[in-house]
Amino acid sequence: MQKKWWHGKVAYQIYPKSFMDGNGDGIGDLKGIISKLDYLKELGVDIIWLSPVYQSPFVDQGYDISDYYKIAEEFGTMEEFDLLLCEAGKRDLQIVMDLVINHCSDQHEWFQKALKEPEGEYADYFYFRRGKNGNPPSNYRSYFGGSAWEQVPGTDKYYLHMFAKEQPDLNWENPVVRQKLFEMINWWLDKGIAGFRIDAIINIKKHLDFPDFEADGPDGLCACTKMVESVDGVGEFLEELKENTFSRYDAFTVGEVFNMKEEALEEFVGEDGYFSSMFDFASHVLSEGKNGWYDAKDIEFKEWKQAVIDSQMNCQGKAYLSNIIENHDEPRGASRYLPDYARNPAGIKMLGTVNVLLRGIPFIYQGQEIGMTNCRMRDISEYDDLDTHNQYERALSAGLTKEEALEVCYKYSRDNARTPMQWNDEANAGFTKGIPWMRVNDNYKEVNVEAQRRDADSVLSYYKKLIALRKSEEWKEVFVYGEFCPLFEESEKVFAFSRILGEKKVMVLANFGRDAEIVALPSEIDKVLLGNRECIGDIKDTVSLEACEVLVFSLK
C-alpha cells in the first residue's frame, strides 16, 4: 500500500466536557485542554480527536450542533481554539475535529427557519413528510428510543430524527445542504486542523419512500437501521464529500461506520476510499442486546479474540482500521473485555498491549492510559446521558427491578466513559476547582495521573513504554506495515499474534487465563521488547506466562 502521513500515528480522544476544567465552572474546556498538551506529548500521542466543541444545547453532549462555526460558550472562544491549534502545532500534535453532519440541533437556524415556514426553502434542508392516517410516516424507532418522527407543530407533517428529537436529520439529497456542509468543512480545514472523525455517517442516505418494516421490539416499532440497510447509494454522497473537501487537504479522516455492507470495505477505507480509516467496532457489537442493554450478554474471551482476529485478517493489505477498546459511547474497556480476575493493573496493561500493537491506528480514549474503570452511580438521576435514561426505562418495562436496571447501566452506560478525568488525589480528582458537572469515579484516590506518573510500574508508565515501542525507530515499520498473523488461535486463554515485515518478526503473547500457561514458541527469542512483569526468566523456545502476563519480543 502507498504510504500515508498518518499511517504511523497514535491518536488520543478527548471528551472536552470531562477532560480538564480551566476556569472552575465544573465543565472541561479548551483552556483546560491547552494546559494538558504537555501531558499528551509526554504520553507519546500524535493526533488528538476532540469530541464536538461547537455551539450546542448539549441535549446529546455536543452531538447536536446549533452553529458549526462557533465554539460552545461552555468550552471557550474561537480565539482559544486558535490558541489550542497553535500550541498543539508547537508540540507537533495534530487536531482532529468531530464532524456531525447527519443531523444538526433543532436550535440550528436552518431548523428554526424550517419550523417557521414548513412549506418554505429550509424545510427541504430536512425530511418533512406527511403522516399516515394520523400516524407518523413510518414505524422507525430512533437510536435513542421512541419514534424517529416528530410532528412539526401546527402541521400534519413530521420531521425525521434518527437520534433524539432535538437532532433533526439533514437532507443530503438537497444539493444546497451538501454545498453548505462542504464549505463549513473546508473552513475548518483552512484553519489548519488535520482532519475529522466523522459521526454516524452511514445514516446520511435514506430510503426516500420511508417504507415500514416488520416490528422488531415490544414497542411495535422497527430499528431505523433497517431503512438504512435497505438502500444503496451512500457511496455517491461520500465520494462527493471527499472530492470537495478532505482530498484537497490530504486530511486524515476516520469514520464512525456501523451497518456497512461487508463487501464495501475497500470502497470506504481502501487505498482510494472515502475515508482514511474507520473504527473497528467488531468487539463492541458482541455485547449488543436484541432489545437493548438489559438483554446484552457479557463478552467471552474466545469470541472477543476471534472478532479481533477476523477484523485484522479481513483488512490486511486492504485498509487501516482504527483500533479502540473504548470511546465516549462505550463502557470502559477495562471493565468490559477483561475477565473479573484480570481487572487489575496487570490485566489492563495486557489489554492495552494487545490493542495498541495490532495493525491499524491505535486510538486511546482519555483515562484509558491510567486504567479508568466504569463508575458506580447510586441512582439513575446521577446519569446525564439521554440514552442511559432510555435504556433504563426499557429495562424497567421489560420487568427488571430498579436495582437490576441500574446494574445494567453500570455495565453499559455511555457515562462510564464520561466521568471526569482523574488527574490527582485532590478534590474532584483535580479536574475542577468548582462542582464537577458529572460525578467523579470514587476510585480517583488510587487511579490518577499524578500517582501513576511517580510510579514506574503504573499503567500510565507502561502505556508510555508501549507507545514508545510502537513508534521506535527500530520497530515502527513492523508495527505499522508488518503483516498480522494470529497464533494459537484455538487457545481459550492465550491471545498471541506476530507482526512480520521482511526479516523482522515481533510476537505479542498474552495470557488472559486464570492460571499460568506454558507456551512453545515457533522459533527462538531474540530479545524481549516489553512485558508487564518484572522478572522474566531465561526464555529460549518456551515461555511460562503468569495469569495476566503479556510479553512482546522479537524472534530469530
Please answer whether residues 261 and 284 qualify as being in contact, where contact means their C-beta atoms are separated by less than 8 angstroms.
no
Question: Could you tell me the end-to-end alpha-carbon distance of the chain, in angstroms, rounded to an integer?
Answer: 26
CA distances from 224 to 160, 216, 218 (A): 10, 11, 15
Residue 80 engages Ca ion in binding (rule: CB under 5 A): no
> Which is closer to Ca ion, CB of 392 or CB of 431?
431
Residue 326 engages ligand GLC in binding (rule: CB under 6 A): no
Question: Among 43, 40, 28, 16, which residue's Cα sits nearest to residue 88?
Answer: 40
Given 199, 280, 369, 385, the catalytic residue:
199
Number of residues that bind ligand GLC (CB under 6 A): 9
Query: Could you say which of 329, 393, 425, 450 contacts ligand GLC (CB under 6 A)?
Result: 329
Span interacting with Ca ion, options 21-29, 48-56, 61-69, 115-123, rule CB under 5 A: 21-29
Question: Is 60 assigned a catalytic role?
Answer: no
Query: Could you say which of 50, 189, 200, 338 contacts ligand GLC (CB under 6 A)?
Result: 200
DSSP 247-267: HHHT-EEEE---S--GGGHHH
Residue nearest to Ca ion (CB): 29
CB of 383 to ligand GLC, least distance (A): 14
> Which is closer to Ca ion, CB of 15 or CB of 196?
15
Residue 199 engages ligand GLC in binding (rule: CB under 6 A): yes
DSSP 163-230: S-TTSPBB-TTSHHHHHHHHHHHHHHHHHT--EEEETTGGGG---TT-------STTS-EETHHHHHT
Query: Could you say which of 111, 149, 163, 363 contacts ligand GLC (CB under 6 A)?
Result: 163
Distance CA 492, CA 512 (A): 8
CB of 440 to Ca ion, least distance (A): 15
Residue 288 engages ligand GLC in binding (rule: CB under 6 A): no
Please answer whether residues 158 and 151 qualify as being in contact, where contact means their C-beta atoms are separated by less than 8 angstroms.
yes
CA distances from 132 to 110, 139, 151, 162 (A): 26, 10, 12, 19
Residue 77 engages Ca ion in binding (rule: CB under 5 A): no
Cα angle at 132 between 128 and 133, to 5 degrees? 140
> Which is closer to Ca ion, CB of 25 or CB of 267?
25
Residue 460 engages ligand GLC in binding (rule: CB under 6 A): no
Out of Ca ion, ligand GLC, none, what residue 23 binds, judged by CB under 5 to 8 A for its kind, is: Ca ion
Residue 60 engages ligand GLC in binding (rule: CB under 6 A): yes
Question: Is 280 assigned a catalytic role?
Answer: no
Residues 23 to 52 in contact with Ca ion, rule: CB under 5 A? 23, 25, 27, 29
Residues whose CB falls within 8 Å of the CB of residue 329, separated by 6 or more in sequence, listed in order: 414, 417
Residues whose CB falls within 8 Å of the CB of residue 384, separated by 6 or more in sequence, listed in order: 61, 415, 418, 437, 438
Residue 483 engages ligand GLC in binding (rule: CB under 6 A): no
Please answer whether residues 296 and 412 qualify as being in contact, where contact means their C-beta atoms are separated by less than 8 angstroms.
yes
Query: Could you say which of 59, 96, 97, 100 contacts ligand GLC (CB under 6 A)?
Result: 100
**Positions in the binding site for Ca ion (CB under 5 A):** 21, 23, 25, 27, 29
Catalytic (active-site) positions? 199, 256
Q: Which residues bind ligand GLC (CB under 6 A)?
A: 60, 63, 100, 163, 199-200, 256, 328-329
